[in-house]
Every structure is written in structure tokens, then in C-alpha cells.
Chain A
Amino acid sequence: MIKVKFRNLPSQLSLLLLALLLTFSITTYAQDEASAATEQPAATGVGDAAAGKTLFNANCAACHRLYKPATGPALFGVGDKYDREWLYSWIRNSQAMVKAGDPQAVAIFEENNQAVMTAFPALTDTDIDNILAYTYTEKPEVVDPCIANPELCEGETSTSGVSSEIILLVLALVFLMLVVMLYLVTKTLKRIAEANGVVYEKKEKRTPIWQAFIKNQFLVLVVSVFLLLSAGYFAYGWMMQVGMDQGYAPVQPIHYSHKIHAGDNEIDCNYCHSSARKSKHSGIPSLNVCMNCHKNISEYTGEEDIANGYTRDFYTAEIKKLYEAVGWDEASQSYTGETKPVKWVRIHNLPDFAYFNHSQHVTVAGIECQKCHGPVEEMEIMYQFSPLTMGWCINCHRETNVDLKGNDYYKKIHEELSKKYGVDQLTIAQMGGLECGKCHY
């Protein structure tokens, strides 16, 4: 009995340890990160900064940022530089002012490489006041939780590690002591029993169980057949996964987070992978697509995952990698023309002899990307979600109904089939989706 207990000791120990570890780490995660964006009331002038922020994001943020130049100049404190009335008319129609020859307007126009600013005739004076109020928002201090509260970060990395080791050691000692004590107790008890003249019944020696087993030929046969079959089963299973890369998550040259883009910012998959709608390839977006947004988004300001080292600086550095690849000079806000195409590591690899067409599934069938690619919006690092095996393809083709309605291509087929079989829905397999030549040519 004792022996049995001891055998389980390590696993129990580790479980206990794990539980302890978890409690510690949860406490670290639970540290609420100090919110960065704290709005301060407008230093000067009138207006509601909160309403201004909304308006700014809706109208201005495409070209302007508060603290650094983007397509247009930085707008922090712009209300101090120019007369309020002048700003009203400039924002409503800057080009008219340039044409009219307003010296200030012409100066700005020339300073910004003659880039034409969009006219916003719909903005009222109040709106503009609000926006201007928002432009007085002070640049928030970068709050690094580690700097703000160093004990936490220290604790995260060092204390938990040390404590677990100590606990392990202490527990091991305790158990060792228990074992020794139990042994000593039984020894003492036996000695006392012998001294008291208690006689143990001698057990008759029985055939050991393994000999009995060997003698029973039927049992041996059954067991060996079972063993062979299960060995075959596992060997087959192992061999079938050769060349299957489910879960493949290679390190990419730029740490691109689908979680931030598709998850946090809810960018539609088709925005970047636009050819998925019309081509067999979903396409890795060309870098000019990235620059549609990243021309203005040069820093990461979202949430951090410090545990994994995904700090804001880390993400911002990745954005700089993009700039380097595409040849974007932040200082002059212009392209240098020196490009370094990014060599992404391809994750989803179908063999050459299998033909797959994204548009067939995305546009015609209307399947969600997630059906095959998994919860991409939660993937910090993209990985292959599905096995991409033929069995996996075929299962879906067997189970999925084709929506024949509303597509003129299927009109005739639909009519004929409903007449013939009295059915309304057919699976892809019934439509011929399991035929070899549909995917292999």
C-alpha cells in the first residue's frame, strides 16, 4: 500500500506545483495596466475635447496626428498658431484660400508639398472648436507598468521561479520524512508484535500471475492480437501525420499579429487578402496595402502582452521593419524607392497536385475564413489550424449543403434536381464534389 502511494508522489507533486504556479501568474496578469489616454481639459479656448476626439478620428485622423507629422502636419496646439476665424475657413475649404492667395494658406500649401487638404464644409464652428479643444490634449507619458511598479515585474520573473523551487524542495523533504517515519513505525510495530508472540499466517505459495498468464494460451493469443492491432493503429496514425503540418507556426520576418489586425481592430480579412474573392490564391497582401494604414500608424498604442514580450516598443519596432521593407522614410514622409521585399514563410502548403480555389469557397460558397483557418482573430502568431488533408476536405464536402438558390448558374440544375429527387438541398458530394478530377489535374 505504501509503495503505491509513493509511486504517485511525483505526479501529485507536480500538480500541486502547477496549481501554485497558476495562482501566482494570475496575480501578475491581473495587474490592470494603467490606461494611457487620459484626456485633459483644453488648456485654452472653448470646446468639448471628448466630442472633438470623435470628430478628429472621423475626419482628420486619415492625414493628421497630434504629435508628429503624417500626410499633413502635426496638429498639437494648432489653435495657438493661427487665428480661430482663419482656421474655420481653412478647414472648410483650404484650396479656395490658396487660390485666393492668402499668404498663410499658400505658405502651408507649399510647406506640405502642395498636398491638397480635403475640404470639410459640413463642419460647424462648434465642431471645429471641439476638434481644436482635442488638439490640446497633452501627449500622455508612456506608462510602463514595470517602471511604474517595479516590484510587480520583478516578482513576475524572479520570485515565482524561486518560490516554486523552494516549495518543491520543502515538499520533497516532508514526504521523505513521512516515508522514513512510516517505515520506522511499521518496523517498531512488527517488533512489538513479535515480542508479544503474534504469529502471522504463512500464505500458501500460489503460481505467480505471469506464469498463469503464459499457461493460458487463449489469453496470450487474444492479448497479442490486441497488441498487434493497437500497434498497427498507432503506427498508421503516426505515419499519416507525416507531412501534415497542423499547428505549423513558423517565425516570420516581421512579427505580424492577426490578433491585433483582425481581432482588436476588426479589419476584414478580405481587405488585405483581397484576391481570395476572385482568385485561387488568397494572396499575401503586397506592402502597399499595409501602407494604406501604416502610413499614419507608425506606433503601436494598443494593449501589451508583457508576459510574452510583446510590448508596445516591440510592435512599433515591427512597424519600422515594414517601413524599411517598403522604403518609407518617416522623417520626410516619402518613399525612398529602396525596397526590400519581405520573404514570408508560407504556412499553408498544398501539394502541387491538389487544386484549391479560394474564390470558389469564399465568394460562391460564402464560407467564413475561420472555418478552415480557425480563430485567426485570436492568433498572435499565425498557425495552420486545419490538417489540410484530403480526408478533411472530403468530410466537409460530404457534410455541407450547396445553396443552389439565388444563383442563376444553378437555376436549371436546381429545377431538374428538385423535380427528380424532390430535394431542395444537395451536398457538395452529390454535386460531384468528390470526383478526383475536380481537384487533381
Chain B
Amino acid sequence: MNKFSDTNMASNKKYWKSVEELKEDSSIVETLKQNEFVTEIPTDDFLGDKEALESSSTTRRDFLKYVGFTTAAASLAACEGPVKKSIPYVVLPDEIVPGVANYYATSIADGFDFANILVKTREGRPIKVERNDLSKHNEVNARVQASVLSLYDKNRLQGPMVDGKAASWQELDAAVAGKMNEMGGQDVVLLTQTFASPSTTKLISEFQAKYPNVRHVIYDTVSSSEAVAAFQNKFGSRGLADYDFSKAEVIVSVGADFLGDWQGGGYTSGYSKGRVPQDGKMSRHIQFEANMTLSGANADKRIPATPLEQKKILAALAGGYASDLPEHLAEAVRKAKAELQKAGSKGVLITGIADVNAQASVLDFNQGIGSLAMDSSRPRFTSMGNSAEVTAVMNGVIDGRIKGLITAGVDPVYSFPDPRFAEAYKNLDMSLAFSMKADATASSAKIVAAVPHYLESWGDLQFKKGSYSLMQPTIRPLFDTRQFQDCLLQWTGNQKTYYDYIRENWEGGILGSSDWNQALHDGVMESDAELASDEATLTETTLESTTANGAMALSAQDSGLELILYTKTSMGDGQQANNPWLQEMPDPITRASWDNYITMSAADASALEIENYNVANGALNGSYVNVTVGDTTIENVPVIIQPGQARGTLGLALGYGQKDAIQQEMQTGVNAYRLYKNFSPVQKVSVEKTGGIHEFACVQLQNTMMGRDIIRETTLDTYNSEDASVWNAMPMVSKDHKEIPVTSPDADLWEPFKRDVGHHFNLSIDLNACTGCGACVIACNAENNVPVVGKEEIRKSRGMHWLRIDRYYSSEESFAGDLEKKENISGLGSSLSEFAELEQASENPQVAFQPVMCQHCNHAPCETVCPVAATSHGRQGQNHMAYNRCVGTRYCANNCPYKVRRFNWFLYAENDEFDYHMNNDLGRMVLNPDVVVRSRGVMEKCSMCIQMTQKTILDAKRDGRAIEDGEFKTACSAACNAGAIVFGDVNDPESVVYQKKNDKRMYHLLEAVGTKPNVVYQTQVRNTTEA
């Protein structure tokens, strides 16, 4: 009997708790009468060592006393502010005013990225990279934006080392001199990146004059060797033809990702100029490719084709005949050819096929049609390596013919394909590595010369014939480093510094009548000075055709998969693998961060039983495969199923899988350089599925728009012939049984707010110009101190990026097809099945990019739900977020239709759990002092760079002048190479953004919600006009 029924005499009902109670003489019931639990509670287990516990002098009361005391002490201590010290300069440098930023013109030339930039410094610390508008070569991509953080990499070498021990520079000089004398007569190879530097070239030749046994070989980690060779064959000097896509009306690319890193990249701004419809015209872009690339995603027409097919396509386009191509490809080639013919000199054909003949045929073709877009008279000098020579060096070291190797700016132990090289390198008589980090090469080199970051160095550059630029230090060297060039000067007995050497060099020729200080101030200079020693003419050419290697080796009877090695927008060749901004930057196409992976078509994946699926919290998981090229196998490579990947091809990004001088968290991915045999980006591979599940950090879970008009799109024909209300319709709502536009004041819950006095900021994003390159994402990170959260948090959708670039695939052939399909859905059955189908991207989808940040709604849903009024509206149009007021209810994020609010789930600064740049003193030097570092438990979001607009206003007030259009900028608008993001004051009718706001292509994201955003988008127009 239980207690309850005993006391409840009024009722005769018997209540029982368990079936046990109905049994008579149940031991359990008996036990329960005495005890609370049936079995004894294992207190000893969780209390641990009983004896120690009992012998401890701390009693429970004492413990409580301690707790009480510490709590009281902590709260008392909290009432007292800490004593802060301020230490002024002893002698303040003239150029520094604390709190005011200085800008210096300099250049990056790390062998992979070349650009003229401006560097913003605060109190002598570089904190941001900007475009140098005086330069034509100023495309600052995501990696260049992020390079400022690599300056503050705590894993950098702190000083020179000899035989694995820290040494002084004198000791290193002595060691090198000794070694060089020892090596007299033997072959010593100086293996360097492409410097594109006139002074360095001259200096190296002086070094060679002193040590004639030194042979200089240029090694581009990612090679453009065939294109350079083809150019040399045709025009007599080494270089790369330059292109200006703004002059092209028809662009046909066969496997060239020119919006990515093809031949050094930097073609975005020219391309985007031609893509914005003006006077009813825009360029037409046809892309034949295997991997889905940025270029393919932006193309008007994209045709998936394997590398083998691409060669045939190119042959057909460049004059020959389309032989044995599948019908759909043959048809596409015929049309493309017709369009090229029609465009005449306004057409351009480019290719990324790593083959001298293919590259030559393109040069011939463009020259033949007199293409205005191609510039062969002033070639680029940014990728001068010769892969045949590099191969010879690699093999020479392996078989012992080469006894000495000096490396500068390259990491061959990591990036050479042959694994035997690493072993052979250790056994070299002389191994000297110039490196910023103890990378794979430096950690096994006998002598390591620590070099400064480019922001601590002097240098001169010639990216393109006649376009000279300078590199100047923007901070004093952080560590005990010495530039490669200063070392060479020292070793050739020259007492000058490299600065004096450059200056002498320039004043002796390049400058002409120009002024050195002016050139240094501008960072760039155009000059027709002919240089005596040019990398272009200097390199001895060994014109081995690489036809036998790489792509050409694939013959028709080969079946099986072809692997295309590519470079990711975020990682490039992998030099900045220890940069958390870049690791966390989602790939524009796959939207995955913190990884490299095989990209595979859905058809191949299902054949191999490879699957991608989302787990309960939305995170993406995928299968592993082993990839084998020849005798090299890379195990456990994750696979992402990539819509648009040509069947029979795979993609894999280079630059990952580094272990040396890379923090544990950033040792991501696999080293694809092991498969980069013969420096050919196309390899024949076999793959097999293996066990295990890979966890991706993919930030986008919904890949299609399912017929919604998140991105509005139309064709050039419709745009030209129809009224804007047809292709850019205003959503209507019903009021009193009348249809009224959603923007009408009658449809509004709120009284409109007068915003016609003062500034009213708007941001316009042109979806036609945006290529999705992601430079704005990193610029935003740098400007606004956006924290890095790491792979695990990204998987939980807790990324903190204020600005994301959504990428959408179409489910049908095109987005228009999706819309049609959605319109035709009728009935429940149809809707269930067809909506599900709409969620799947098609095999070769149309792709669209859309940068999304806080839309700064004039009628913001977030503002009305905040219980503490932490988010409020400014009359300048910005939606303010007062972090110190926020209590972290997250109502605002839930009520935001654009999902742009980010919550600080943890403290991301000075927290060992998030050991990225904000967790060490060096990394924190990159923080922008004008923007607060947010703490745990508060919401944050895009502020429309209010610190920048406020600064512009203050500067004008101080000078007592009106603000001109173009002065107002945000980090993203300043970083946009494509000119897609325009920011300004719409109360100024002269401003560009005013015109954009009143353009017929203008629309607001999710207009039907009635939020009245201050961010506007320009409808995407595709040129579907076929010849």
C-alpha cells in the first residue's frame, strides 16, 4: 500500500505507481518503503577517492565559507576600476598622430598574387589593405585583403637559423660564405618565386657574377609555363599576354578561370565593366569548363566539358574542325564560333589548357581577328617559371646531380609532387631557405634566413611591361629578419641597402624625368624605360614542348576520371594557410570553408555510391575516397557533389594539407601538390570509396531559390524590349480589395519617417557586376574586427561574417525554368513532389551570387522586437546596434527576414578555446581600433561601416566643406574590384547611388515583406542572345 491511499480514506480507489506494487511480496516494493532508490547510489564512484576526501581538512562549512568569501571579494573588486597606464612616445615620429590613420602605397608580389595596394596604418601598425586607385593593376582579391593578418602570424620565424639553431646574421653570413666557397664549381640552384622585380633581377645576375656556379630557376608553385612558352615562341620574349575584357563583346573561354587565378588573375574589373548593360548592350560570355569555377558561374552560357573535350573544342574554335565531339558540344561550339566571327575584333578567345600548342592557337586566333581585348605588346611578367627547368631541378636534387639549393619565396619540399624530394633535400650539401615561416622546406634546410613580410620590405616591381611600381615598408620589422635582396647585397660585397640599390636603379633609368618621392608616394609609375636586364630576356629558355606531359598525354581511348587541380579563391597556392580569415572564408562556389575536397558530378557520385547529406543541425557530411594518380595515392579525401561538374571529371584544390609552421586548427585538407605531376593541372586518376564520414563546414544549406525572386533575373532581350514592370515587378498587396504596391504608404503599418534632411545612406549591389569573388567578405572582417569561430562552430551555423555571398543554383536549366515550374504547381501532390525537386540543383545549373549584409531596413523588424532597445534606427538610414545595451535575447535575429544578425555564442577574443588571431598579442595588432571587439552574449551585424561614414562627415566638418560623391565608402564598397557595390548618400541627386536607386533594374530584397531596406540590388541581366 502506498502512502497516498492510506491518507486518502475518503476514496476507495487504489493508486499504484508501478506494476511491481501489484505483486505480492515484491522485494522492490519492500526496499522502496525504506529507501528512496532501489539500488544504492554509487556515491563513492563520483566522489572519487574516499580516503582523500575524508582526510581533507576542508569541511563542507569551510568550503561554503570560501565560496562566500571569494564571491564577496570578486564583487567588491569589480567595483574598483583597473589602473590603466598610458605610455606616450619619447620622441613622436612626425607622421604619426595617435588616432589618425596613415596610408602608404605599396605592392604585394608573393609569387602568386601581384597587386598595387594602399595600406592603412594606425599608430604604425598596418591594419587594412585597400585598392590603389592610381594603379591599373590594383585588383585586391580576398587573399591580398587577408595578407595583412599574415604579417601578424605568430608562427613566423623570429630570426635566422644555422643547422637548426638560432644564429645571428653575422653567423649566417659566415656560414653561407663558407658553404658557397665549398660549393665552388658545383651546381647550385637558386630557386625563387617570380619576383617581377627589375632590381632583384639585376641583383641576382650580380650574385651569379660573383658565384658563376649559381643557376637561377624561377618556380611558380602553380605554373603558367605553357602560356609563357607559347608567348615566347610567338613574340620572342617571355611573358603572358594581357587582356582587357571591357573591350570584348564576346568572350569565349575554354577552361580558363579568368575570374579566378588564371594566369595571375586580376581580370575582374575589366570583365565587370562590360557586364553591366549600358545603352542596351552588354558582353556575352561563353564558358567551356570541367570544374564549376567563378568564371563559369558568371557566364551567360556554361557548357561542361572534360579537359579532353576542351582540347577538341579549342581546336574547333581556333580554326580547325570539331571532330568526334558529342552532338550537344558540337552544337555549342558552332554557335560560339559564329558569335566570335560576328564580333570580329570585339571577340576574344582564351584557354586554360596547360599545353603550348593550345596556348599558341589562342594567341594566333586573337591576333588573327585583331582582338582589341588582347594586349601582346605589353605582356605581364607575373608568372615567369618554366616547369621543364623546375622538373629538372627536382630530379637533379633527387638523383644527386644538384648539391646545393637556395630557395626564396617557395616551399618545394611541400609543393613538389615527388615525395622523394623531401628526403633528397635533407641530404643536400648546401640547403639555404629564405622563408617567413619554418615551412616544410625551411624546417629541413641547414641554413634558414628569416625574411620579412612584404609589408616590412622594400621592393620594386614591373608587373606588366612599362608598369612599374614600388614596395615600401609600412611597419618596422617585427622580428630579426633580413630581406632576400639585402642578403644578396651583403654576399656580393655591396655595402648599400636594398633601398639605396633600388633608388639608384630607378634614378639611373626607370624614373626618367619623374621624381622618386612622387613615385614612392603614388606607388606606381608608367615608364617606357627599356631595362638592360629583364627577367623576360634573362631566363635561358629550354623550349621543351610539354606536349608529352599533362593534358596532351590523355588520348581518346583513355577512359576513367580526369582530375583538375585548381586553386581556391580563399587559399590560392597555400602560402597563407595559417591565416584564419582565409581558412574561414567560404568558397564562393561550394560555400564550404576550412577544407579542400574532391568536387564530383552527381552522376559519378551515385555510380561510386558517394553521398552528401545534411545532419540534424543542418551541417553537411560526405563520404571519403582514395585518389590515385600513377603510383601516388592520397587517402581519405572528402567529396562534395558539385552541380555543374563535367561528368567524368573531378576537381581538387591545391594549397591545403600543410603541417609545418601551421597551427593545429589550420592544418586542414589534403596536399594536392602530390598529384601535380609534371606541373600539369590535369591528371588521370582512379578513385575508390572508403569508409568514414567527413564533416564539412558548409555555410549554405539551401542551394536553390525554388522559383522565388530572391535574385531577380531577366534576359538582355526582355530588358531591352519590355517595360520594367514586366521583369522587375513591384509586389502587390491587397487592401480593401484593391491591389496596391507594397511600398505604398497605405500598405504601411508605420508612419513614414522624414529622411530628406542630411545624409541618407544607401548601398547598391549590382548583381550583373558581382562575380562572387569574396574580397568584400575579407575586407569586412578586417574593418569590423569580425571574429573567427572555427570549423566546429561554422558547422553549427554560428559563423560571424557580417557579409555573406549567397550562391544559388537553378533546379531546372535556368532560374526562369524554376519559376515556370513553380507557377505550374497545382494541387497538394504536385506541390509536395515538385517543391522537393526544386530543392535539387540541376546537373548544369545556372548560378547566381548575391552579397547579403544587414539591409538596414527603414521599417526594421528587428528594432520593434528588441526588449531593451539595443537596436535602433538612425536618421542617416543606418540600423544601429548598441552592443553594450544588448542582453542577448536574440529576438531580433529571429525576426530578421534576411538572417544577417550574428550572435556571439562565446567570447572569441582572448579565449584559448578560439585560438585564432584574437587570442595572441601579435594577432590582435590587426584589430581596427575604431571598432569595438564584441563580447559574449551580444548580437552583432553589419553597421554599414558607420565608423567610416562618421569619419568622412567629421573630416568634412573640420575642413568646413561639403562632401562630394564618392567620399562615403564602406569596407565592402571600397574593396569591390568589380564596382558592383556602390555606397553613397541618396539625398544627393548628383550621386551615383542616387542614380542606382532610381534605376529601372533596382529592387529590394524580399520587397513583399515591406521592410523598406536601404540596401538595393540591381536585377541580374543575362545576355542570352545567340548568333
Which positions in A face B, CB cutoff 8 Å? 242-243, 245, 250, 275, 278-281, 283-289, 325-327, 339, 341-346, 349, 351-355, 357, 359-360, 363-364, 406-413, 416-417, 420, 431-432, 435-438, 440-441
Q: Is B963 an interface residue (CB 8 A)?
A: yes
Q: Is B334 an interface residue (CB 8 A)?
A: no
Give Cα A412–Cα B758 distance, bound, in whole angstroms: 8
Query: Least Cβ distance of A290 to chain B in Å?
Result: 10
Least CB separation from A274: chain B residue: B97
Residues in A neighbouring B960, C-beta threshold 8 A: 406-409
Q: Is B556 an interface residue (CB 8 A)?
A: no
Q: Which residue in B875, B882, B963 is a CB contact (below 8 Å) of A409?
A: B963
| Contact call B92/A288, Cβ cutoff below 8 A | yes
Residues in A neighbouring B878, C-beta threshold 8 A: 437
Residues in B neighbouring A363, C-beta threshold 8 A: 958
Residues in A neighbouring B962, C-beta threshold 8 A: 408-409, 411-412
Least CB separation from B872: chain A residue: A436
| Contact call B874/A407, Cβ cutoff below 8 A | no
Residues in A neighbouring B97, C-beta threshold 8 A: 275, 278-279, 283
Query: Least Cβ distance of B388 to chain A in Å?
Result: 55
Least CB separation from B883: chain A residue: A353
Give Cα A413–Cα B79 distance, bound, in whole angstroms: 45
Q: Which residue in B84, B756, B961 is a CB contact (below 8 Å) of A349?
A: B84
Known: A352-B933, A409-B961. A346 touches B885 (CB 8 A): no
Give Cα A363–Cα B85 distance, bound, in whole angstroms: 27
| Contact call B88/A345, Cβ cutoff below 8 A | no
Interface string of B651-693 (1 = CB under 8 A from A): 0000000000000000000000000000000000000000000
| Contact call B884/A279, Cβ cutoff below 8 A | no
| Contact call A287/B86, Cβ cutoff below 8 A | no
Apart from A279-B98, A344-B88, A420-B757, what 17 extra A-B contacts exist at CB < 8 Å? A280-B99, A287-B89, A288-B91, A327-B90, A345-B83, A345-B85, A351-B884, A353-B883, A357-B954, A359-B954, A363-B958, A409-B956, A409-B957, A409-B963, A437-B880, A441-B931, A441-B943
20 intermolecular pairs with C-beta atoms under 8 Å apart:
A243-B79, A278-B97, A279-B98, A284-B88, A286-B92, A288-B91, A339-B90, A341-B87, A344-B87, A354-B884, A355-B947, A408-B960, A409-B959, A409-B961, A411-B962, A435-B875, A436-B872, A437-B881, A437-B943, A440-B881
Known: A407-B957, A409-B957, A437-B874. A286 touches B88 (CB 8 A): yes
Residues in A neighbouring B48, C-beta threshold 8 A: none
Residues in B neighbouring A345, C-beta threshold 8 A: 83-86
Least CB separation from A349: chain B residue: B84
Q: Which 9 residue pairs spanning A and B have beta carbons closest together? A: A437-B880, A279-B99, A286-B92, A286-B89, A281-B99, A436-B882, A284-B88, A346-B84, A280-B99
| Contact call A243/B947, Cβ cutoff below 8 A | no
Query: Least Cβ distance of B682 to chain A in Å?
Result: 49
Known: A432-B875, A440-B882. A284 touches B954 (CB 8 A): no
| Contact call A441/B98, Cβ cutoff below 8 A | no
| Contact call A281/B98, Cβ cutoff below 8 A | yes
| Contact call B958/A364, Cβ cutoff below 8 A | yes
Least CB separation from B757: chain A residue: A416
Residues in A neighbouring B946, C-beta threshold 8 A: 437-438, 441
Q: Is B73 an interface residue (CB 8 A)?
A: no
| Contact call A355/B963, Cβ cutoff below 8 A | no
Q: Which residue in B86, B880, B932 is a CB contact (below 8 Å) of A346?
A: B86
Q: Is B950 an interface residue (CB 8 A)?
A: yes
Give Cα A139–Cα B950 distance, bound, in whole angstroms: 58
Q: Is B205 an interface residue (CB 8 A)?
A: no
Residues in A neighbouring B883, C-beta threshold 8 A: 353, 440
Interface string of B744-767 (1 = CB under 8 A from A): 000000000000111000000000
Give Cα A440–Cα B90 distance, bound, in whole angstroms: 32
| Contact call B963/A278, Cβ cutoff below 8 A | no
Give Cα A359–Cα B963 distance, bound, in whole angstroms: 18
Residues in B neighbouring A243, C-beta threshold 8 A: 79, 81
| Contact call A441/B884, Cβ cutoff below 8 A | no
Residues in A neighbouring B99, C-beta threshold 8 A: 275, 279-281, 283
Residues in A neighbouring B92, C-beta threshold 8 A: 286, 288-289
Q: Is B100 an interface residue (CB 8 A)?
A: yes
Q: Which of B255-278 contact A (CB under 8 A)?
A: none
Residues in B neighbouring A284, C-beta threshold 8 A: 86, 88
Q: Which residue in B81, B100, B884 is a CB contact (below 8 Å) of A278?
A: B100
Give Cα A431–Cα B958 distance, bound, in whole angstroms: 17
Residues in B neighbouring A281, C-beta threshold 8 A: 98-99
Least CB separation from B881: chain A residue: A437
Q: Which of B83, B98, B878 has the most CB of A within 10 A?
A: B98
Query: Least Cβ distance of A275 to chain B in Å?
Result: 5
Give Cα A284–Cα B97 distance, bound, in whole angstroms: 11
| Contact call B79/A438, Cβ cutoff below 8 A | no
User: What's the A-B contact tally at a CB cutoff of 8 Å?
Assistant: 154
Q: Which residue in B89, B932, B961 is a CB contact (below 8 Å) of A408?
A: B961
Residues in A neighbouring B757, C-beta threshold 8 A: 413, 416-417, 420
Q: Is B930 an interface residue (CB 8 A)?
A: yes
Interface string of B388-432 (1 = CB under 8 A from A): 000000000000000000000000000000000000000000000
Q: Which residue in A351, A406, A409, A438 is a CB contact (below 8 Å) of B874?
A: A438
Query: Least Cβ distance of B885 to chain A in Å?
Result: 7
| Contact call B88/A341, Cβ cutoff below 8 A | yes
| Contact call A355/B957, Cβ cutoff below 8 A | no
Q: Is B876 an interface residue (CB 8 A)?
A: yes
Interface string of B166-188 (1 = CB under 8 A from A): 00000000000000000000000
Residues in B neighbouring A436, C-beta threshold 8 A: 870, 872, 874, 880-882, 885
Give Cα A417–Cα B946 distance, bound, in whole angstroms: 24
Q: Which residue in A343, A351, A410, A438 is a CB contact (below 8 Å) of B85?
A: A343
| Contact call B85/A344, Cβ cutoff below 8 A | yes
| Contact call A364/B88, Cβ cutoff below 8 A | no
Give Cα A360–Cα B963 distance, bound, in whole angstroms: 16
Least CB separation from B963: chain A residue: A409
Residues in A neighbouring B90, C-beta threshold 8 A: 286-288, 325-327, 339, 341
| Contact call B880/A440, Cβ cutoff below 8 A | yes
Known: A242-B79, A441-B943. A285 touches B86 (CB 8 A): no
Give Cα A364–Cα B884 distance, bound, in whole angstroms: 27
Least CB separation from A432: chain B residue: B875
Residues in B neighbouring A341, C-beta threshold 8 A: 87-90
Give Cα A351–Cα B81 distance, bound, in whole angstroms: 11
| Contact call B958/A359, Cβ cutoff below 8 A | yes
Give Cα A280–Cα B954 distance, bound, in whole angstroms: 10
Residues in A neighbouring B872, C-beta threshold 8 A: 435-437
Give Cα A438–Cα B757 distance, bound, in whole angstroms: 17
Least CB separation from B88: chain A residue: A284
Residues in B neighbouring A242, C-beta threshold 8 A: 79
Interface string of B222-234 (1 = CB under 8 A from A): 0000000000000
Least CB separation from A289: chain B residue: B92
Least CB separation from A439: chain B residue: B882
Query: Least Cβ distance of A379 to chain B in Å?
Result: 18
Give Cα A54–Cα B409 distance, bound, in whole angstroms: 67
Query: Least Cβ distance of B763 to chain A in Å?
Result: 16
Give Cα A435–Cα B953 distance, bound, in whole angstroms: 15
Query: Least Cβ distance of A393 to chain B in Å?
Result: 14
Give Cα A341–Cα B758 distance, bound, in whole angstroms: 45
Known: A407-B957, A432-B875, A441-B946. A286 touches B91 (CB 8 A): yes
Give Cα A410–Cα B874 distance, bound, in whole angstroms: 18
Q: Which of B942-971 contact A (CB under 8 A)?
A: 943, 946-947, 950, 953-954, 956-963
Give Cα A417–Cα B757 distance, bound, in whole angstroms: 7
Residues in A neighbouring B874, C-beta threshold 8 A: 432, 435-438
Query: Least Cβ distance of A197 to chain B in Å?
Result: 67
Query: Least Cβ distance of A434 to chain B in Å?
Result: 10
Residues in A neighbouring B943, C-beta threshold 8 A: 437, 441
Give Cα A325–Cα B954 distance, bound, in whole angstroms: 36
Query: Least Cβ distance of B949 to chain A in Å?
Result: 10
Give Cα A420–Cα B758 distance, bound, in whole angstroms: 13
Q: Which residue in A245, A349, A355 is a CB contact (below 8 Å) of B930?
A: A355
